[in-house]
Amino acid sequence: MVRFVRPGLLRTTSLSRTFSVLLELCRPGSSAEKAQAFLQSTESADRVGAFISHSWHAKPLPKILALCYELNVSMAVKACWLTWMVVSLVLLASADGTSEDMRDTLGSIALSPWVFFLTVDLPLIVFFMFFFFAHGLTCEFWTPSVWFDKACINQEDQAEKEEAIAILPEILHQSSRILVVWDPTLFSRLWCNLEIATFAKSHREDQDAIRILQPWVTPWLLCSMFAEWLAARVLLPWYGRLLTAEENIEWHPGSFVDYLVAGLISNAPFVVLQLPALWISAVFFSYKLKYSADILHAFANFDVRNAQCSMSSDRTALHAQIARVFDEIEDAPLSIEVEVPENFPSPPEATFDPELVELIRRPSVRRITSYPSEEMCLDLFNTFVRNELRCQIVEETGRPSHLPLGLAILGALPLQLWLISDIYLQCEQVGCRTVPMFYYLNSTDQYWVFVSVATFYDTVLAKPLLYAAALRTLDRVYSIGASWALEWVSVVLAMVLVQLCGYFFEALVTGCMEYLLAEGVSALPLSLLSLLLFVTTFLWSRAFLR
């Protein structure tokens, strides 16, 4: 039974206002006038787009970064690739792509100092603008309405605050999803316990409605993208100089081994330039393993009676609300479907008398009924969190060593921008009929087949798998239980090993494809390429498909 909510009591705010609340109320000396001003800036609503559950013991900046990733990253990716596409079309339309010799094309786009800025830097600038400010840039058009406790509950009027606490289950029931900003202190807060369990019980059919926002994600993403950007910044001019070297175009491998050696040489710079990104990832992946393990441990050992409350006067009311969710008094009676004649009258819908419900909830009356007592309800709540809710969270977040595919692909976004841009920049620099010679190919068609397969392999399979392998390798290293110094030496060496494995796979795939396209089908290259692709696909499916 959903109780009546007084108009004006269910209020929502915007993401921009939520960020302001987080920053302002966490400053020393935040006044009651500020809190009241935030309440007055909210709006009365019937539904809530996103209910934010968090602990006030956590720092505000990690919460803001986590919310930016959850609510803005999709718009940031779309804006980034749209910018890249528009810039690329403009460059292609303004360039002369028919020249066979770059020296005949004055001001070729590949030689312009603005090319790297336009094809890599500018899309990334747009990405970061939308990542942090998409809610403001779009006037909150695609951003859900937010319920945030400090802004949407009157903190000064105790009577209204208790009324808001009393209807918290109804607010959660009217919320489309709940964003749980994880923090080690989260389950020690009674408010957070009530919010998560109440929402989970009322949204059992929607497994994706609960989102656990882990604080390591955004810092890792930003640092990884910065490291990849530096790698692309160095790789671009290096490849430009390598491409224009006449001796590289004139030399042609003679055997299959020569093609493999050429693949190893051409991919060698990636080992040095991308290794810092893996070392940076190792730091944040260490936090991920710890946080994920803490989350599962917190759910497995949950006890609501150990939770704390910032105001002792709220504890009784919150315990009562938890008991209301699990006391089964308002649940509909069990029914069994039976076959009856068509003219048989339909049974009346079950109705609840609010006064009778509240009467049954009195301890003196509940004692003589079969309904569970408040203490039993708290035990039911503990069981629900430890079992059903924990399984739901594991399904949503995955194992501690699991890395989401979308996040793994996004970490290498700068390099993806460079790789795809490099395809048409090479044509503009030396001509599309000449550039296949750089890959030891015989025609433009072979070149496009090669770069299409190689780009897909690198951006969708190899690079995401590299991050996933790094995370799982770290998990194995930490499971050994060595000393701190030996552990970190092992981590550094393990990241080098992971990078070398990825390098050899990509180099051998490159050599095999170039040989098969240039020299024709042969048993050994085809068998080796098939084996490499099978192993990569198998490892990729084990890493990302649950």
CB 194 within 8 A of CB 188: no
For the domain 11-62+140-213, what is the CATH code?
3.40.50
Task: Give residue for tokens 């419900």.
Answer: 357
DSSP secondary structure letter of residue 309:
-
- Where does residue 81 rank: exposed (0-12), middle (13-18), buried (19+ CB within 10 A)? middle
pLDDT string in tens for the chain (546-residue length): 445 567 778 889 999 988 888 887 666 555 566 767 777 888 888 899 999 998 878 888 999 999 999 999 999 999 999 999 998 888 777 665 444 443 333 345 555 667 778 889 999 999 999 999 999 999 889 899 999 988 888 877 778 887 887 788 888 888 999 999 988 778 778 878 888 878 888 887 787 888 989 889 999 999 999 998 988 877 666 665 665 555 555 667 888 999 999 888 888 877 888 888 899 999 999 989 988 888 888 888 888 888 777 677 677 777 877 877 776 656 545 445 556 666 666 655 555 556 655 655 666 566 666 567 778 888 888 888 888 888 878 877 778 888 999 999 999 999 888 888 777 666 665 566 777 777 788 888 888 899 889 999 999 999 999 999 999 999 999 888 778 888 889 999 999 999 999 999 999 999 999 999 988 888 999 999 999 999 999 999 999 986
Q: Smallest Cα–Cα separation from 225: which of 82, 409, 75, 71? A: 409
Query: Any idea what DSSP says for residue 186?
Result: G
Helix axes 256-300, 217-244, angle to 10 degrees: 170
Domains of the chain, by residue range, sit at 11-62+140-213
The pLDDT, as a whole number, for residue 101 is: 45
| Beta bridge pairs of residue 308 | 189
Phi/psi at 370 (5° precision): -90, 0
- Yes or no: say if 414 and 234 are a contact pair by the CB < 8 Å rule: no
* Torsion over CA: 137, 143, 148, 152 (sign): positive
- Do the bridges between strand 175-181 and strand 210-213 make them parallel or antiparallel, or are there none, so unpaired? parallel
Residues 449 and 381: their CA atoms lie apart, in Å, by 58
Closest by CA position to 504, among listed 535, 540, 468: 535
